[in-house]
Amino acid sequence: MGALGLGIVFALLVLLPSLEHQVHGKQSNYELKMCDIYQGRWVYDASYPLYDSSLCSFIESAFACQKNGRADELYLKYKWQPFACKLPRFDAEDFLERFRDKRIMFVGDSLSLNQWQSFTCMLHAASPESEYNFERIGSTSTFKFQSHNVSLMLQRNAFLVDMAHNKYGRVLKLNSIDHKDGLAWKEFDVLIFNTWHWWLHKGRKQPWEFIQDGNTLHQDMDRFVAYEKALRTWARWVDKNVDPTKTKVFFQSISPTHWNASFWGNPEGRNCTAETRPLAEPPYPRSPHPAQVIVEKVLRGMSKPVNLLNVTALSRLRKDGHPSIYGNEGHRGMDCSHWCLPGVPDTWNQLLYTELIRN
């Protein structure tokens, strides 16, 4: 073999490790893209939680369970492990660099607030010395990271469709989107929508006097029917107005509650209070949440791509993650609907981060 041949062999030997690394890297990315990240289990991880909530003074008191006196910490130590792949660990600097000069908005109820506050803290705690601006104008809150000009915003909008105030009282209009809301949504690079939490409220907690469907005013109607009609109105708005080359749209699936301990086989318990560990398997009934069935049906019928942030099943396992008596500034009532921070919404955001980087 001549000098040229020996040179080529030597070059190949040098390059092989690099080529192998590239192939495996591509395979890993492919596996992540093909992986169902919502099928898995909760596993103990001593390195958790992802952040120290004391670094985030802006967290709502209702979610600050440790500050409000919750002494147990085991619920902080669980991470979500998909069966078929590993989730990339949340990288705040990578996220901010990817979304430099971008605007991201969460639109929904207090569960959107829960997730938005988790995300702002995950980013801020990674670089607590970095400058940020926080402001709240009406129903919209903005958390802006100055170093990368990234705006993370929240619009409190419990139903997504229009809520009008007229001589009859408050009217939930199932067939229309508020014009100002629609104009605002068009301006964002990422939109994460959510609605469900308030649809079943009745009595003093019911936030409307009438439901309008077409030209008909109802004092009440089947709430699941109303929910589906409203989601279809939202879906039509997305199909008509969103340019998927400019805006990524997500829908956060139903956030489960844990008000009845008998559902997870604890006849001694009444609700989520004193629960400290996740469930190893789904509680009964194991049939899908009826509102989740509606969400998935509506999304399947859309012409524009909407990513389902499918957190319902994995969150059903986390009976231990709610504020219980450690929300609402501590020992004022019981909350088995929202989530402690740090906690389960951090995983929702890790899944959101994974969806964004793998697509």
57 is catalytic: no
Q: Which of 110, 118, 315, 324 is catalytic?
A: 110
- Is 322 known to be catalytic? no
User: Is 335 noted as a catalytic residue in this protein?
Assistant: yes
Catalytic pick from 258, 335, 337, 346? Answer: 335
- Assign 3-class secondary structure to the chain: CCHHHHHHHHHHHHHHHHHHHHHHHHHHHHHHHHCCCCCEEEEECCCCCCCCHHHCCCCCHHHCCCCCCCCCCHHHHEEEEECCCCCCCCCHHHHHHHCCCCEEEEEECHHHHHHHHHHHHHHHHHCCCCCEEEEEECCEEEEEECCCCEEEEEEECCCCCEEEEECCEEEEECCCCCHHHHHHHCCCCEEEECCCCCCCCCHHHCCCCEEEECCEEECCCCHHHHHHHHHHHHHHHHHHHCCCCCCEEEEECCCCCCCCHHHHCCCCCCCCCCCCCCCCCCCCCCCCCHHHHHHHHHHHCCCCCCEEECCHHHHHCCCCCCCECCCCCCCCCCECCCCCCCCHHHHHHHHHHHHHHHC
R_g of the chain computed on alpha carbons: 23
First to last CA, the chain: 47
Do the Cβ atoms of 352 and 63 come closer than 8 Å?
A: no
Catalytic residues: 110, 335, 338
